Amino acid sequence: MSLEQALLTWAHLTASAVWVGGSLFLGAILAPVLKRSGMAPGERIALMVLVGRRFNWAAIPALALLVATGVHMSGPLLARPDLLAASSYGMWLAAKAALVAALAGTFAAHVWVVRGSVEARIRGGLLSGAELASLRRRIIVLGEAMVIMSVAILFLAAVLDSGGSL
Chain-wide mean pLDDT for the chain?
93
Number of domains in the chain: 1
CB atoms within 10 A of CB 40: 11
Q: Give the pLDDT band (50/70/90) at residue 81.
A: confident
Tell me which residue of 162, 119, 154, 161 sits closest to 19, measured CA to CA: 154
What CA dihedral angle connects 31, 33, 35 and 39, to 10 degrees?
Answer: -110
- Per the model's pLDDT, the better-predicted residue between 82 and 101 turns out to be 101
3-52 pLDDT tens trace: 999 999 999 999 999 999 999 999 999 999 998 999 998 999 999 999 99
Q: For residue 65, tell me if it sits in a domain.
A: yes
User: Residue 80 pLDDT > 90, yes or no?
Assistant: no
Q: Give the pLDDT band (50/70/90) at residue 79.
A: confident
Distance CA 165, CA 60 (A): 31
52-70 pLDDT tens trace: 999 999 999 999 999 999 9
Distance CA 6, CA 142 (A): 33
Q: For residue 82, tell me if it sits in a domain.
A: yes
Domain span at 84: 3-161
pTM exceeds 0.85, yes or no: yes
Q: For residue 45, tell me if it sits in a domain.
A: yes
Q: For residue 166, tell me if it sits in a domain.
A: no
Residue 76's pLDDT is 83
Altogether, the residues listed in the chain come to a count of 166
User: Residue 1 pLDDT > 80, yes or no?
Assistant: no
